[in-house]
Structure 1
């Protein structure tokens, strides 16, 4: 299991999210999880708060953010991983409430996968609209 910490500090805002996950290589389709691509699957059903050890229940929107982030790197994972199926099981999140926004889930899990498979880093710029407080991600694609 590997932990990746996504951090952004800019004038006016900061984001922080740590994510611990493991890659489970399978010879057949997984029984649990959600398909992200042809061979990459996501399981976020057993996630804990890394600081308190309590169980976290992610919202559909949070799971969708994780899927977006994995989707950004799934093609690169499939190029370097020979297993027929790869299940990414998210095990824990490090959430600092003052610096947490759901939008950080996508680049955090993408960064985790880049570390896990030694992939070239993707640039992801977090932008916060100071008027509305809404975040957007620019994946530099």
Structure 2
């Protein structure tokens, strides 16, 4: 299992999501998972149906899990290309942690994209993020994006996770 921390910082706060997931290469399509594309599957059951017994994570709603599916679908083509032909890849999300006061469900897509990049050594997926002051929310552009004038939001990989533990460096060391 690997943990990724996704952060988006804006002028008056930000989004921070700590996501722990694992992957498995399987010969046949899994029975208890959502199909993302031909050979990529997502199992979010551990964060949907089972409350964390150690209180180290949060339960997600079905709508929030939809953002996990969306994010994984954006990375799916690159994941599939990096995996052995004829095998299926099952991604299981084991834990999600975020401060509920500064949370936008769309950030879950960014969190699983970042996790996928680290887990499968795939190129970064382009995600544009800007802050809509009038709505007091972050706006995500899930396609190719060039920062426009006045965009004062920057992606930042923190030195520590939400529990204060040091994160591995960006070169993939654990």
TM-score under structure 2 length normalisation: 0.73
Report the structure number with the largest CA radius of gyration.
Answer: 2
Cα distance change on mapping 1:5 and 1:51 into 2, 3 Å: farther
**Residues 49 and 93, structure 1, Cα contact 8 Å, conserved in 2:** no
Give the secondary structure class of the aligned counterpart of 2:69.
Answer: helix
Cα distance change on mapping 1:46 and 1:118 into 2, 3 Å: same
* 1:39-82 CA-partner distances (Å, limit 9, x unpaired): 001111112659823662x2221111011100111000010101
1:18 Cα deviation after fit:
0.8
Question: 1:20-35 alignment to 2 at 5 Å?
Answer: 20-35=20-35
1:108 Cα deviation after fit:
0.4
* 1:96-139 CA-partner distances (Å, limit 9, x unpaired): 12222111100100110000011111232322322223432123
Question: 1:20-99 alignment to 2 at 5 Å?
Answer: 20-47=20-47, 52-53=55-56, 56=59, 58-82=60-84, 84-99=87-102
Match of 1:12 in 2: 12
Give the secondary structure class of the aligned counterpart of 2:71.
Answer: helix
**Gap regions ≥5 residues in structure 1:** none
Greater strand fraction, Structure 1 or Structure 2:
1
Which range moved further: 120-129 or 106-115? 120-129
4+ residue segments displaced more than 3 Å: 48-51
Give the Cα–Cα distance (whole angstroms) in 1 for the partners of residues 98 and 24 of structure 2: 24
CA RMSD, 1 decimal? 2.0
TM-score under structure 1 length normalisation: 0.89
Give the secondary structure class of the aligned counterpart of 1:87.
Answer: strand
Greater helix fraction, Structure 1 or Structure 2:
1
